[in-house]
Amino acid sequence: MNNRVKIFDTTLRDGEQSPGYSMDTDEKLRMGHQLARLGVDIIEAGFPVASRGDFEAVQRIAREVQGPTICGLSRANIGDIDRCWEAIKDAKKTRIHTFIATSDIHLKYKLRKSREQVLEEAVAAVRHAKKYTDDVEFSAEDATRSDWDYLVQVYQAVIEAGALTINVPDTVGYTIPSEYSKLITYLNQKVSHIDRATISVHCHNDLGLAVANSLAAIEQGRVRSSVRSMVLVNVLEMLRWKKW
């Protein structure tokens, strides 16, 4: 088993939402070049459907930043995925990262959809994304508050649809290392064909446990970790003071 940890950096997408650290297109491009210099494996360059500005920033990063895979985020719908591909298609290595919530609280109050509907949409999204690029990642938003057996069902279905990476995000910074470790172990044991995909982890730091949770998950094997906050803070300060 390949035990190399790949770094998926989401500074330019999730990290940019930190108060006081929004960036314009030129700053995002400079950040993208710096992340490439740091040697990250995948750059999540943005959420292209969110705005014209974000689309243009992702497009420039895809065209100009060399080395890492350039990834765009999209909700699990056709329009988002099409827009995402338009933004990243000029990169040498591309990834589409599509997501939909799976926790019952999100299904009831945010999506207002059934488990069956969400499962169908997740599979349809992965299949559509695969028409553009082989490298497709699927995230079950709010995974750590989702029913574990339902997660197994969803992840199994999207792997069969062609997802090469399945992400297990702690979207609301809810979990603790012992619980997260058990969840990753459970998925490794229960998801059929799990060996076809890389398990990805994305941890928020609301309880100060993002690093501990990531390390707990990595110990279970076949996991790629997601990092963002320290890169964002340190590099943005360099940008502000023009130290390179």
- Domains of the chain with CATH codes: 7-241 (3.20.20.70)
The pLDDT value recorded for residue 20 is 82
Tell me the average pLDDT across 219-241: 45
Report the distance separating Cα 174 and Cα 124, nearest Å: 29
Predicted confidence band at 57 (pLDDT cuts at 50, 70, 90)? very high
Assess whether pLDDT exceeds 80 at residue 226. no
Three-state SS at 219: coil
> Nearest CA to 153 among 120, 180, 127?
120
Tell me the average pLDDT across 188-195: 93
The pLDDT value recorded for residue 33 is 98
Predicted confidence band at 234 (pLDDT cuts at 50, 70, 90)? very low
Per the model's pLDDT, the better-predicted residue between 239 and 209 turns out to be: 209
Tell me the average pLDDT across 216-228: 62
Three-state SS at 73: strand
As a whole number of Å, the CA-based R_g of the chain is 17
The pLDDT value recorded for residue 18 is 79
Query: What percent of the chain shows pLDDT beyond 70?
Result: 89
Per-residue model confidence as pLDDT tens digits over 141-181: 999 999 999 999 999 999 999 999 999 999 999 999 999 99
Report the distance separating Cα 181 and Cα 171, nearest Å: 16
Assess whether pLDDT exceeds 90 at residue 224. no
Tell me the average pLDDT across 180-206: 93
Find which of 5-19, 87-101, 187-201 is predicted with most confidence, using mean pLDDT: 87-101
Specify whether the CB–CB gap between 193 and 160 falls below 8 A.
Answer: yes
Predicted confidence band at 231 (pLDDT cuts at 50, 70, 90)? very low
Q: How many CB atoms lie within 10 A of CB 240?
A: 9
Q: Which two tokens stand for residue 65?
A: 């930043």
The pLDDT value recorded for residue 232 is 40
The pLDDT value recorded for residue 242 is 43
Assess whether pLDDT exceeds 80 at residue 229. no
Over the chain, what is the mean pLDDT?
90
Per the model's pLDDT, the better-predicted residue between 231 and 63 turns out to be: 63
Assess whether pLDDT exceeds 90 at residue 73. yes
